[in-house]
Amino acid sequence: MNATLNRNIPDRDAFLDRAYALYETFAKSLDVACKPGCSHCCTRDVTVTTLEAYRVFKALKENGNLALIRKVLADDQRRFQPVITTNQLAELCASDGETPPEDPPVSQNPCPLLDHGLCSIYAHRPFGCRCFVSASNCGENQFADVDPFVLTVNTIFMQFIEHMDTPGLFGNFSDVLGFLDSEPHRKTYESGCISKLPQGMVFNRPIPVLMIPPEDRDRIRPLLAGLQNLRSICSL
């Protein structure tokens, strides 16, 4: 299968930068227990798009921190590998289709990029890390306490981020970073054509329908308008 990217990387990166800023503004309004050094949710199970991983790779390369990439790729512990994207899930839900079975997140293996409980790529961390918040201490309760509306917001942002990287790749952070660590693969992504689906990853999909429960539609309108405006500004 040939997949041709329909948007250039600078435009998509500009969208990602602004989308991160928009989400951080929203997150500041939340009452969460998360604080520096709290890393209970920092596991090997984070999923990303190629665009998010590309930003991490580029930042580490420019800063001379390629050793961190080697550290991620050297850690071969078991990790979650998705078989479906967020937008594919939305499409299946809208058509009452059956979702394919997949193994649940492992969630025990810590992220190899943690350094004494702190994220060593914090400024460039992917959205899956940015949006994982909890109203109570996960270490004490053994689960994340997340308001349903926050889950809706997170899902919408993930749908837009996937959409703007269509048809790039979606997978475990380690797998996607490993794909981009190969110069031929990276050049294939940069040139806008991915000719073969790598093992353990899936192609991104455009937004078929936004997964917004009826009770959240009015409340989410400002954020949705912000995301739509960003798409317009970045010519996406």
Q: Dump pLDDT digits (tens) for 171-188.
A: 999 999 999 999 999 999
The single-letter code of the amino acid at 140 is E
Return the number of other C-beta atoms located less than 10 Å from residue 24's C-beta: 10
Strand pairing class (169-172; 47-49):
antiparallel
Q: Is residue 3 predicted with pLDDT exceeding 80?
A: no
| Residue whose entry in the numeric block shows the structure tokens 């009826």 | 214
CA distance 187 to 222: 37
Per-residue pLDDT, 98: 87
Q: What pTM value is reported for the model? A: 0.91
Residue type, 172: N
- How do residues 192-217 score in pLDDT, each as one tens digit? 888 789 999 999 999 999 999 999 99
61-112 per-position pLDDT tens digit: 888 888 888 888 887 778 889 999 999 999 999 998 888 888 776 657 888 8
Contacts from 107-110 at CB under 8 Å and sequence distance 24+? Answer: 107/43, 107/45, 107/80, 108/43, 109/43, 109/44, 109/45, 109/77, 109/78, 109/79, 110/39, 110/42, 110/43, 110/44
Domain ranges of the chain: 3-233
pLDDT at 138 (0 to 100)? 77
